[in-house]
Amino acid sequence: MDSWNEWVEQTLDKLEYRKLLRSLRPIHLSDDNSHSDEFECFDGLRQWDRASVEVEISETTFQKWLQDIPSPGDDHGGSGVAYTAARTSAGRFRKLILFSGNDYLGLSSHPSAVQKHGMGPRGSALICGYTNYHRLLESSLAELKSKEDCLLCPTGFSANMAFMTAVGNVSLLLAKDSQPSIDERVAVFSDALNHASIIDGIRLAEKQKSVAAFVYQHCDMHHLNELLTNCPMKKKVVITDSLFSMDGDFAPLVELVKLRKKHGFLLAIDDAHATFVCGKTGGGAAELFNCISGVDICIGTLSKAGGCHGGYIACSKKWKQFIQSRGRSFIFSTSTPVPIAAAAHAAVIVAKKEMWRRRAIWNRVQDFRDLTGIPITSPIISLIVGSEATALQASRHLLEFGFHITAIRPPTVAPNSCRLRIALSAAHTLDDVKNLTAALSQCINFSEIGFYCTSWNAARL
C-alpha cells in the first residue's frame, strides 16, 4: 500500500500549496463531563431495553396496513408507530414486537444516552460546528476500529459520498493536464449489492470523470480477481459492504485481504451493520474475521447498533485530512448536533462494556437457526418469497400476530426477489423468537427457504 500512501501525500502537498487544506478546530463546551467513561452500565436486560422493540400502532393505521391502503402518516389516533413508553391510551393502539429495525443491541433506549447541551450544532464542522464532544466520539471510534483517526459525517450516506468524491479528487489533483486521462483515473471496484450511498458516490465521481467504475458479481472473488488482473490502471480501490443489509451475508473479507496483497488496491468497507455487533469488542466484521490491518478505510453509521445517528470514516490521519478537505458531503453539511454526538459516544462506551448485549443477539441468531433450520449467519434474516403480493400477504399475516415486519420490495430489491427482512436485537427474548417463528411457519415453508438460502450462498461463493 506504499503507492496509495504516496499518492495521498502528494495530494495533500498540492492542497497545502494552493492553501486548500482544511482543519478541524474543536470548540470546547464548558461545564461538561465529556471526557468521562463512567457511564452507568448494566449486566442484563432491563425494562427500558424492551422499549426498543415493544411499539404500538394506532388502530386506524393497523387496519389500513392490513388492507394495504396507502397512509399519509397522520392517521387519527396517532401517526405511524409510537413507542410504548410514550403511548398508554387503552383501546386506541395495538402493541407490536418490532423485528424490522436496525437497533441490534437495543441501545437506543439506554439511560446513558442523555446530555444537557442544546441541539444546535451552530454550523458545518469546518466553520463552528465541531466541539470537544465530536472529537471525543471520533477518538473512541478510531480506537474501536484500530485506526489512526476518524472523521464524523452527518449520516452514513454522506460518509460514503464524501469518501468516494475524495477518491475521485486523487486523480483530479495528480493529473498532468486539467482533466485526468483514462490511465490516470482511479479504478473503483464495487460489489454488485453495495449500498445505494456507495453507488451514488461512485456515480458522482464518474460524472467528474475522475474514476472508472467496475462492478463485480456479489461476493465473487474469482470475478473480482479477473477484473483487477485485466485493469491497466494503477490506482485501484475495492469497496464493499461488510454485512449486506438486504441479504444478511458477509463479504469474504479474508479473501479480499489476500487479493489486496496481490494487487495493491485500497480496501474500503462499509461496516454499518456489523459495527458494535461483530467481534469481541464490537469492532465490526474485520475484527470478527481477524483482518483489521488488511482494511484501509472503515466507513459506518451510528444509526444501527449504535442506536443513535450520524456517520463516520475511520482511517489514517492523512486520509482524514484529505477527505475533510475534498469530501463535499462533509464540507457542505451542518455538523452533527451536540447531544447526538455525546449520546453516540456514550453508546460506544456502553456497547464495549455491556458485552452481554453481543452475546444476547448472537444467542437469538442461534435460536432462530435452531427453530427454523434456516442457515442464517447474522442478525439480518432475509426471507426471499418472490412476488410483491406474496411478501405483502406475509407481512400482513405477521402483523395480525403482533409482529412489525415490513415487506421489502423494488426498488430496494430486484423484481421477484421481494422478501421479509427480519432484524434481531439483544432486546428480543427467546419467547419473542419462538412466537415469531411460529407465526412465520404458517406462511413460509422453512425447508424450502433453507434450501434456497444454502444454494444461493453456495452459488455466490
Lowest pLDDT segment from 9-18, 122-131, 289-298: 122-131
Within a domain: residue 233?
A: yes
- On whether both 304 and 447 belong to a single domain, the answer is no
Q: What is the pTM of this model?
A: 0.85
Q: pLDDT per residue over 73-116, tens digit each?
A: 555 544 444 444 434 444 588 888 888 777 767 766 666 555 55
Q: pLDDT per residue over 225-267, tens digit each?
A: 999 999 999 999 999 999 999 889 999 999 999 999 999 999 9
Q: pLDDT per residue over 361-397, tens digit each?
A: 999 999 999 999 999 999 999 999 889 999 999 999 9
- On whether both 423 and 403 belong to a single domain, the answer is yes
| CATH number for position 428 | 3.90.1150.10
Q: Give residue 400's domain range.
A: 355-459
Does the pLDDT value for residue 457 go beyond 70?
A: no
Question: Three-class SS string for the chain?
Answer: CHHHHHHHHHHHHHHHHCCCCCCCCCECCCCCCCCCCCCCCCCCCCHHHHCCCEEEEEHHHHHHHHCCCCCCCCCCCCCCEEEHHHCCCCCCEEEEEECCCCCCCCHHHCCCCCCCCCCCCCCECCCCCCEHHHHHHHHHHHHHHCCCEEEEECCHHHHHHHHHHHHHHHHHHHCCCCCCCCCCCEEEEEECCCCHHHHHHHHHHHHCCCEEEEEECCCCHHHHHHHHHCCCCCCEEEEEECECCCCCCECCHHHHHHHHHHHCCEEEEECCCCCCCCCCCCCCHHHHCCCHHHCCEEEEECCCCCCCCCEEEEECHHHHHHHHHHCHHHHCCECCCHHHHHHHHHHHHHHHHCCHHHHHHHHHHHHHHHHHCCCCCCCEEEEEEECHHHHHHHHHHHHHCCEECCEECCCCCCCCCEEEEEECCCCCCHHHHHHHHHHHCCCCCHHHHHHHHHHHHHHHC
- On whether both 210 and 340 belong to a single domain, the answer is yes
Q: pLDDT per residue over 193-206, tens digit each?
A: 999 999 999 999 99
Given 335, 353, 371, the domain boundary residue is 353
Given 329, 353, 377, the domain boundary residue is 353
- On whether both 285 and 420 belong to a single domain, the answer is no
| CATH number for position 218 | 3.40.640.10
- On whether both 305 and 424 belong to a single domain, the answer is no
Given 308, 334, 353, the domain boundary residue is 353
pLDDT of residue 187: 97
pLDDT of residue 74: 55
Higher-pLDDT residue of 128 and 357 is 357
pLDDT of residue 121: 62
Percent of the chain with pLDDT over 90: 58
- On whether both 280 and 390 belong to a single domain, the answer is no
Within a domain: residue 250?
A: yes
Mean pLDDT of 298-319: 93
Within a domain: residue 316?
A: yes
Within a domain: residue 319?
A: yes
Count of structural domains within the chain:
2
- On whether both 327 and 427 belong to a single domain, the answer is no
- On whether both 143 and 211 belong to a single domain, the answer is yes
Arithmetic mean of pLDDT over the chain: 86
- On whether both 264 and 327 belong to a single domain, the answer is yes
- On whether both 130 and 217 belong to a single domain, the answer is yes
Within a domain: residue 173?
A: yes
Within a domain: residue 171?
A: yes
- On whether both 317 and 427 belong to a single domain, the answer is no
Within a domain: residue 82?
A: no
- On whether both 417 and 315 belong to a single domain, the answer is no
